Amino acid sequence: MSKPIDAVAVENISKILGEYTTGPKITKMFSLLGFFDYDLQRQTDNQWFKASTKWRRLDETIRHECNASHNSRPFFRAIQYIARPQDFISKPEEWGRLRYEINECLIFYGYCLDDSGRIASAKTATTFSEAQLRLKTLSARLTELNVHPLVMKFCNEQFLQGDYFHAIFEASKGVVNRIQQLSGIQKDGNSLVSTVFSDKQPILVIKGNMLATETDRDIYSGLRNLLRTVIFLYRNPKAHTPKIYDPSSVDDAVQAFVIMSAAQTMLDSVVNVRDFL
């Protein structure tokens, strides 16, 4: 549940935004958004007036607009105006840093700035440790675990909004798509796995594993069951239906990606028997 935006949040965000914009851009933003510009008024009243610092201009005007409108929309509009992804397209590291700094503050109020530059609702952090954990990018957490690159490419969103279902679902689809590509079979789900990894007429086998011994067959069965685990736990369940994992749990999300990483790693070593016929 979100918390009301207070003066502390406005000041902290103003200091951050001030580092990523210029005085003329602030003047233009105030004009375009219809915000009252205290500095412009003071310059009209006193030609010798010295302009305020960037963050103080932002802080003063945003607080005024929020108080006048009795809501936090001006606060969020100012963030979204300055934090526009298109303005950072050639500076990806700066974009990532800006988002991180903004979200360090917003996460304690139940909001986040997403990768599209929009303010979104988020699970409110209540402790420093929780905030630090969730502020880590998904890719940063999984890189530490050496997760397979074909899983990582589906995991570039932030651990912020507290629901990882879609990233997990897309990564599981990636496993299924790879089986289809390697085998040339366009079935889906368990039917695909059963056909491609059949004991009697396999299409994909582990390189060097001729299924000649019980150990060979056990390893092959392990791969087949690992792929079924991905399908039954992460590929088949739809959004808004009960799942065996908690899509809001960091631990469950990491576990899901590690399982799919293991599946992709084993698929690295399979060969198509039809290539040898």
- Long-range pairs for 187-196: beta carbons < 8 A, 24 or more residues apart: 189/231, 189/235, 189/236, 190/228, 190/231, 190/232, 193/224, 193/227, 193/228, 193/231
Tens of pLDDT, residue by residue over 85-141, are 999 999 888 988 899 899 999 999 999 998 889 999 888 888 888 887 777 766 677
What percent of the chain shows pLDDT beyond 70?
92
pLDDT band of 244, cuts 50, 70, 90: confident
> What is this structure's pTM?
0.57
Per-residue confidence (pLDDT) for residue 83, from 0 to 100? 96
Looking at per-residue confidence, does 75 or 159 come out higher?
Answer: 75
Whether 158 has a pLDDT exceeding 50, the answer reads no
Point out the least confidently predicted range of 57-71, 79-93, 150-164, 214-228.
Answer: 150-164
Tens of pLDDT, residue by residue over 41-70, are 888 777 777 778 999 999 999 999 999 999
* Mean pLDDT taken over the chain: 89
- Taking residues 177-187, report their average pLDDT: 97
Tens of pLDDT, residue by residue over 194-218, are 999 999 999 999 999 999 999 999 9
- Taking residues 156-176, report their average pLDDT: 74
Per-residue confidence (pLDDT) for residue 69, from 0 to 100? 96
Per-residue confidence (pLDDT) for residue 139, from 0 to 100? 67
